[in-house]
Amino acid sequence: MELKNQIIYISKKVLNSIKNFKFNFETSIFIFDKELNVLYSKSNFENEDICKVVIKESVENNAFVLSTLQNTTVRTKNQIYGKDFSVISSPIHEIKNKELQGYVGIITTDDSENFKMISEMLANQISYELHVHREKLLIENIIKTDTSSLITREQQHKVELRIIKNITQGLKDKEIADNLHISVSTVRNYVNKMFEELEITSRSQLISLYYENKLYDILNQIKIKNRFL
């Protein structure tokens, strides 16, 4: 999931957690990316055009840039169509490297300090949720990759050892293929690959290693070594 979609996903989650979005004043909460594109919003504004004008003036007055430079919540004032509006901006940062991810912007006719706290709280919560979400995706990806690798290696070992056991019984490729329900070419591919990995050239050497109880360990070490190269 790309950064923009991650921010939208987390912003919806955080803003939807505000159960009672019923303020006594006209208020809009916006989530912006760092280029100040609106990603998500929640509003009780009756006139959306006013809101757009206030956002435009706030961008032009560098209210959001100012909050980034000061690394804190910033309040600016605008008067549009005879109404006084407070514009509060809080930067959303990546927790690990503090890189700017976007902004929480609140536009309200409420002149109290409450919305400064709300804006900062939302920005911090979105930063935290983004961090947790990305860590979760990273861990899931690692587990998925490792599990897939382990399963593949384990299954491969089982096929290799079953082929070797069949070889020790003097069976030909066609008979081995029939026993394991695989194709003759697959049997030959496995045998050739084992020859290459074990640096041997004959089936007698393969059988010798098997009876010396070294084969599984040797193959396993080769697989692990190759995996981390």
Per-residue pLDDT tens digits for 164-178: 888 888 888 999 988
pLDDT band at 21 (very low <50, low <70, confident <90, very high): low
Classified as helix, coil or strand, 62 is coil
Supply the pTM of this predicted model: 0.57
Residue 134's pLDDT band, with cuts at 50, 70 and 90, is confident
Q: 9-18, 75-84, 91-100, 212-221: lowest mean pLDDT where? A: 212-221
Report H helices in the chain.
3-16, 48-60, 63-70, 114-168, 173-180, 184-198, 203-211, 215-227
Which residue is it, tokens 């290459």?
A: 196
The span from the CA of 92 to the CA of 123, in Å, is 5
What is the torsional sign of CA 38, 40, 42, 48? positive
**d(Cα 77, Cα 84) in Å, to the nearest integer?**
7
pLDDT band at 224 (very low <50, low <70, confident <90, very high): very low
pLDDT averaged over every residue in the chain: 79
Mean pLDDT confidence for 178-190: 87
CB 215 within 8 A of CB 164: yes
pLDDT value of residue 222: 54
pLDDT at 217: 60
- The 10s digit of each residue's pLDDT in 73-122 is 888 888 777 788 888 899 988 887 788 888 898 888 888 888 888 888 88
Is residue 125 predicted with pLDDT exceeding 80? yes
Is the pLDDT at 143 greater than 70? The verdict is no
Q: Provide the 8-state DSSP code for 37.
A: -
Of 23-32, 109-118, 140-149, 173-182, where does mean pLDDT reach its minimum? 140-149
20, amino acid identity: N
Residue 30 has pLDDT above 70, yes or no: yes
Model pLDDT, residue 67: 85
Cα-Cα-Cα-Cα torsion 38, 51, 69, 135, nearest 10 degrees, comes to -30
